Amino acid sequence: MEKLNFRNRRRKNTYIADERLSQRAISLANYMIENKSTVRQAAKIFGVSKSTVHKDLTERLENIDSSLAIEVRKILDLNKSERHIRGGMATKEKYAHMH
């Protein structure tokens, strides 16, 4: 009886997974740049978690396309600087609808 070799299978699947992750990171980056969206909005559109989006855009993308990563970093920094304002506006709208 022949022994199954899982090493080659694992390497092949890892390569496919790496390619898929790279493609997702690039797609997320392009979406963020084109739409000036937030991490939450991108996560909802792509059907992944906020953590996944953030990791793809901050860690994986740097290794794939550094110029794209710089553009995305600008958007992430802008979103971070505006988040307290957005939160305040959301609270204001919430209470305006209640009364």
Secondary structure in 3-state letters for the chain: CCCCCHHHHHHHHHHHHHHHHHHHHHHHHHHHHHHCCCHHHHHHHHCCCHHHHHHHHHHHHHHHCHHHHHHHHHHHHHHHHHHHHHHHHHHHHHHHHHC
Domain residue limits at 14: 6-98
Is residue 16, in this structure, part of any structural domain at all?
Answer: yes
Domain count, the chain: 1
Specify if 45 maps to a domain. yes
- Residue 81 placed within a domain: yes
Q: Which pTM value belongs to this model?
A: 0.72
- 55-97 confidence digits (pLDDT tens): 999 999 999 999 999 999 999 999 998 877 777 877 888 888 8
pLDDT digits over 30-44, tens only?
999 999 999 999 999
The one-letter amino acid code at 94 reads K
Residue 1 lies in a domain: no
